[in-house]
Amino acid sequence: MSNRASSTVERAARAAVAAVSIAISGGLAALLPPVAALVTVSGCATEPTAQATPRDAGSSKQAAVAPLGPVKQIDAGVLNVGYAEVGPVGGRPVILLHGWPYDIHSYDAVAPLLASAGYRVIVPYLRGYGTTRFLSKDTFRNGQQAVVAVDIVALMDALKIDKAILAGFDWGARTADIIAVLWPERTKAIVSVSGYLITNLKANTQPLPPVAEWGWWYQYYFATERGRAGYDANRVEFARLIWKNCSPMWNFDDATFARTAASFDNPDHVAIVIHNYRWRLSLAPGDPQYDGLEGRLNEGPVITVPAISIASDFDGPAADGSAYAKKFTGKYSHRILKGIGHNVPEEAPEAFAQAVVDADHY
């Protein structure tokens, strides 16, 4: 889960005040049903407004959404990456990136929408998820932020993709942000849920107010051996708890959850997740070969490529995006989804797909 300094309990309570509507425009308008009510944040271009309701995973509409097609495998860097691919091979590439504790099925509805608009859509399992595997048993099971971005660039190389639109939430949003700043020449545009998520290790050592610290209970739990063992033994129940807490208005059904939970059976899943969160708290070292990249990221670089950030009820009082707006110096807009939790692409697929199309046209 991404770093948003507020407890899930307070986020839910503040959401009615913090969440506003944003507008969306053209692009997929003819192909998509109306999307969740949005409002353009101050400083962004004004766009026409559309209305909709959150997607209900228990509805007949959800039942009609088929999972992504067959998973393909390709060697890329230190991994053999599992990924889904839909849309025309000659279409403009879009790479959709999931987070924790989620997987490629967060994009079951988004990917077909983008494919129908002519995009070549790639949805990879990150290291430690699904069918993605390390090529060598000797490779460090590393979850630090830079290495996940390196994995995606390696995937682009393996698929002979020179430049792509990158879109994601949670770990996926952070990865899109990082690729945009370290490899802008490979990045057509980005869509980033919760905005600028690049981790600054020094800043992460500073204490937060108690209510904010409460929100990160799972990170402190993971810092202990009991937490590692507990997650290993109870990863499915743990994920369900996070889903419910981070998306309290999303009525996902058992089949929807089970599709994603299967990806946590990956043999490296626990090691990657635990290292990721311990690394963020400077409790576990990263791989020295990425020190140069992490040094650049610790400087807080701005994102110069076209970008759209999306906030939801999960972001609470940070939903207006003002805390990170200045980190986006290219063409940029910020959207706020009302009544939507953390898993934005699965809860509001039309709005997410529309943001990808709009960012592409910036």
Find tokens 């990425």 and name the residue.
290
Dihedral sign computed on CA atoms, order 335, 336, 337, 341: positive
Residue from 330, 327, 326, 317 nearest 359 by CA: 330
Q: Enumerate the domain spans of the chain.
A: 8-360
Q: CA dist 17 to 21, 50, 68, 178, 259, Å?
A: 11, 20, 36, 31, 34
Contact 349, 332 (CB under 8 A): no
Q: Give tens-digit pLDDT for 320-331.
A: 999 999 999 999
**pTM for this one?**
0.86
pLDDT for the residue numbered 6: 38
C-alpha distances in Å from residue 182, one per residue of 185, 232, 294: 9, 33, 10
Tokens 């209305």, residue located: 51
- The DSSP H or E segment spanning 73 is strand 72-76
Residue (of 43, 39, 42, 41) closest to 23 by Cα position: 39
The answer to whether 178 and 295 are in contact (CB under 8 A) is no
Judged against a pLDDT cut of 70, whether residue 61 lies above it is answered with no
338-352: average pLDDT: 98
pLDDT, greater one: 43 or 268: 268
Query: What's the alpha-carbon Rg for the chain, to the nearest Å?
Result: 19
Q: Residue with structure tokens 């839909």?
A: 86
What's the pLDDT at 69?
87
Residues 205 and 224: their CA atoms lie apart, in Å, by 17
The C-alpha atoms of residue 93 and residue 326 are separated, in whole angstroms, by 27
Arithmetic mean of pLDDT, 163-181? 98
Query: What is the pLDDT confidence band of residue 54, given thresholds at 50, 70 and 90?
Result: low
d(CA 354, CA 360): 10
- pLDDT at res. 17: 29
Tens-digit pLDDT profile for residues 69-128: 899 999 999 999 999 999 999 999 999 999 999 999 999 999 999 999 999 999 999 999
Residue 345: exposure state from Cβ atoms within 10 A (0-12, 13-18, ≥19):
buried
Of the candidate CATH numbers 3.40.50.1820, 2.70.210.12, 3.30.565.10, 1.20.1070.10, the domain formed by 8-360 belongs to 3.40.50.1820
Q: Residues 133, 138, 140, 146: what is their CA dihedral angle, to the nearest 10 degrees? A: -60
Average pLDDT, rounded, for the chain: 86
Tens of pLDDT, residue by residue over 229-253, are 999 999 999 999 999 999 999 999 9
Q: Which two tokens stand for residue 201?
A: 């290790």
Q: Are 129 and 264 spatial neighbours (Cβ–Cβ below 8 Å)?
A: yes
